[in-house]
Amino acid sequence: MAGLIQSGHHSYVAAAKKQKRAVLLINKALGRCPCNKGVSRPRCPCKDYRGAIAEGYSILEEAMETCDCGVEKFENCYNMQHIKALHALSSMHEAMGELDLAEVYAEWMLELAPRLPDGYLRLGDFARRDGNDEYAWNLYTAGLELYKENPIGSPSKFKQLFDARKPLYLPFFKQDPLLLPPEIVTHIFSYLDFVELPVCLRVCKKWKNTLTGPLHCQLWRNMMFTLRRAKRGLDLVDLKRLLSWAGKGGARKIKIAVGINFTQEALTLLLEASPNLEHLELLELKGLTLPSKEKVWNQLRHVAIESYAVRRHTNVDSPGAFPQTFLELAVGSLEHLDLVGIPSQWFRGEPVPAIPSLPNLRTLRMGDHDGEDVDIHYGYPHDLRTIQNPFPILPLSMAFPKLEQLCIGPEVPYLEPDPARSGQDQWKDIWPHLKVFIFGPRTNERTDFREEKTRSTLRYLTRLNSLQYIGLEVKSKDWPCMFSGTYHPLPDLDASQRSEFQNLRCFSSQKLCISPDGARTLLSNAIKANQLISFDIVFPDKYDADRHLEGYEWLRGAPSIQTLGCYEYRFRSDLEKDDDLLLPQFLATFPNLRTLIITHYLSTGTPQLARVLPAILSVTHLKTIYTSLYDEEFVKQLAWVARGYGVKVINNYSYRECKPYLYGARPQQWPIPMTVLGG
């Protein structure tokens, strides 16, 4: 045992002597590098890389800085033999347990050649070994950024730098987003709800000063006051502060949701301080009025207002009523008007001044409240029943002559052509640019003589030459086929002025059942012109839906059809083979059909659906199916099967309320996108 100890000691002494000799030889080699200029080259005692990071400087700046300690007369050295020698010395002292000296030589590598990766990698490894991960992250990052600017040295070394930094990504690759360019910062924070932005100001003083500065005024120009803000309301001090952050011109978009505690003073201040306002949505105008002074909003293009001016003697501009004067102050720029709560004066067929003249208005959607809605909010549904006069179309066309999209309803009882009162010649020039017309009347109205006038008006409006999109949400039980060739809308007018539907691109209806012959009159010219891309078929209240579908033999294979709606379809359960199912065969003939909207008759059971829908998937090239199914479990199974065919299933049925959404199986956009119209 003693012999082994003595032998080990001799070996250690011999190894130590060899290591010391190796150190001497390498130091001697260092002295022969031309960068020494024939003298011994000292290290710079001024370099402090850890201190530079703490003070916010970069490691590269610290390495490149010229000192006055006498070392400045020596230049950087990029002799790889010199760098290898310093690396060897660092490794030897590390092997001998002299870690301080090992780190000194690693720092010397960085000082000597700050544009090479070797020093950053060696010194970073020491920092990791000491547990100083932040220092190591900064060293590795400095080396990688240097290589991006000036790729000098071995690419393999930079790969080692990259690999060494990977484990440190999670704790240290975090940046203050406010250090990014201002336009990127604005884009990031724009994804937050408006009511969440003030919370971000509490992070720190720097965030508050930056986000409320002029560079980020865009963040405060879309003022969307949602229900989350309704609990404590908005005082004038807060509002003035928001407007100051929005900068010159104030808000560009304002939306005030239902239930917001907005005072009259706050609303007036908000609007008058926003002369550059472009978009305004007031979803509840209860007890409030809009400014009516001689102030012009010459950039206001979109207005959506929900008022409750249903009393017969409620004047416009009164609290909660239709803000007519305010809209007239934006007459030069207003293009889109979305109105719920039609003034009673408009129904009474009063002269044109009863409707404000908006010559540049392009889209109009107007509807009214149902009795339940009025009763909930105000408690006077009897006033709603007093408005039974038909709505006169011609005064509307005279007030808004440049309309391109018009949606009337729901809850508008009747329409009135009124050629005797307004003059027949005016019908010939009515809305020459109208591309979209949608009508949905009041629900649960009994049939009487007014419906005949409504049908006549609709017949004429749907014959306008410019129309590309027609939507009619009317019950068809007591209506003749509106599109048959024998039914003349207005006998006193020239039939040659009527369109043959050659420009029609979409016919939408979830209620109006058109006979196959009437549909042929409506669609044949558009199909020949390769224009029609979307059509809805509403099946009759009969058990043989397939017989109705057989009448559409002329529509089969139309190459322009991309979207098809099938409403109230009764799936037959008496067919033994899938090949006998008519609907899948019919849909398979359309080569470019990509979207199917399908709602079944209420008596149709899940087994029939489970049989027919997979058959449809197997023979078509669909991308999307819209349904209105209450059986959530079946919808999940259908979606799973559809994914196998690359089809997405969207079910728009409110199971908890047990009723479909307002627009049924397919959500309705407004205004209708120009892509639907081929624009």
Residue bearing tokens 């250690």: 12
Do 440 and 662 touch, CB atoms closer than 8 A?
no
Do 330 and 303 touch, CB atoms closer than 8 A?
yes
Residue type, 85: A
Give the residue-averaged pLDDT of 172-186. 80
Give the residue-averaged pLDDT of 178-191. 86
Cα 634–chain centre separation: 30
Residue type, 284: E
Residue bearing tokens 């991308």: 623
Beta bridge partners of 392: 416
For residue 339, the surrounding DSSP H or E stretch is strand 336-340
Which one is predicted more confidently, 522 or 606?
A: 522
Residue 512 region by backbone torsions, left for phi larger than 0, else alpha for psi between -120 and 50, else beta: beta
How many other C-beta atoms lie within 10 A of the C-beta of residue 272? 14
Residue type, 620: T
Percent of the chain with pLDDT over 70: 75
Q: What is the pLDDT of residues 599-636, one digit of tens each?
A: 865 555 566 677 788 889 999 999 999 988 777 888 88
Residue 153 confidence (pLDDT) above 80: no
For residue 338, the surrounding DSSP H or E stretch is strand 336-340
Tokens (6 digits) for 329: 């102050």
Beta bridge partners of 253: 222, 279
Which one is predicted more confidently, 320 or 381?
A: 320
Dihedral sign, CA of 146, 151, 152, 158?
positive
Which one is predicted more confidently, 199 or 7?
A: 199
Do 596 and 587 touch, CB atoms closer than 8 A?
yes
Which one is predicted more confidently, 322 or 453?
A: 322
What is the distance between the alpha carbons of residues 665 and 672, in angstroms, rounded to a whole number? 17
For residue 280, the surrounding DSSP H or E stretch is strand 279-282
Residue type, 384: L
- Is the backbone peptide bond immediately before 410 cis, with ω within 30 degrees of 0? yes
Give the residue-averaged pLDDT of 162-185. 80
Residue type, 470: I
Q: What is the pLDDT of residues 60-99, one digit of tens each?
A: 777 777 676 666 666 778 788 888 888 888 888 888 888 8
Residue type, 56: G
Tokens (6 digits) for 167: 């484990």
Helix (H, G, I), strand (E, B) or coil at 336: strand
576 CB-side CA count, 13 A: 0
Residue 260 confidence (pLDDT) above 60: yes
Residue type, 205: K
Which one is predicted more confidently, 353 or 497?
A: 353
Dihedral pair phi/psi, residue 637, rounded to 5°: -65, -40
Residue 534 confidence (pLDDT) above 90: yes
How many other C-beta atoms lie within 10 A of the C-beta of residue 231? 8
Helix (H, G, I), strand (E, B) or coil at 634: helix
Helix (H, G, I), strand (E, B) or coil at 536: strand
Which one is predicted more confidently, 127 or 423?
A: 127
Q: What is the pLDDT of residues 465-504, one digit of tens each?
A: 788 998 888 765 555 566 665 444 444 444 334 567 888 9
CA distances from 336 to 331, 463, 610 (A): 11, 24, 44
What is the distance between the alpha carbons of residues 338 and 367, in angstroms, rounded to a whole number? 9
Residues 6+ apart with CB under 8 A from 475: 511, 512
The listed CATH number (3.40.50.300, 3.30.160.100, 3.40.1390.10, 1.25.40.10) that belongs to domain 2-172: 1.25.40.10
As a whole number of Å, the CA-based R_g of the chain is: 39
Residue 595 confidence (pLDDT) above 90: yes
pLDDT of amino acid 594: 95
Strands, E assignment, 171-270? 222-225, 253-256
What is the distance between the alpha carbons of residues 76 and 78, in angstroms, rounded to a whole number? 7
CA distances from 158 to 79, 84, 123, 155, 233 (A): 18, 16, 14, 5, 57
Query: What residue ranges do the domains of the chain occupy?
Result: 2-172, 401-499, 517-679
Do 504 and 534 touch, CB atoms closer than 8 A?
no
How many other C-beta atoms lie within 10 A of the C-beta of residue 528? 12
Q: What is the pLDDT of residues 281-300, one digit of tens each?
A: 988 877 888 887 767 788 99
How many other C-beta atoms lie within 10 A of the C-beta of residue 567? 21
Domains 2-172 and 517-679 share a fold: no
Identify the architecture of domain 517-679 in CATH: Alpha-Beta Horseshoe (3.80)
CA distances from 303 to 255, 322, 326, 366, 572 (A): 10, 12, 11, 12, 48
What is the distance between the alpha carbons of residues 595 and 621, in angstroms, rounded to a whole number? 9
Q: Report DSSP letters for 499-510, one per residue.
A: --STT--EEE-S
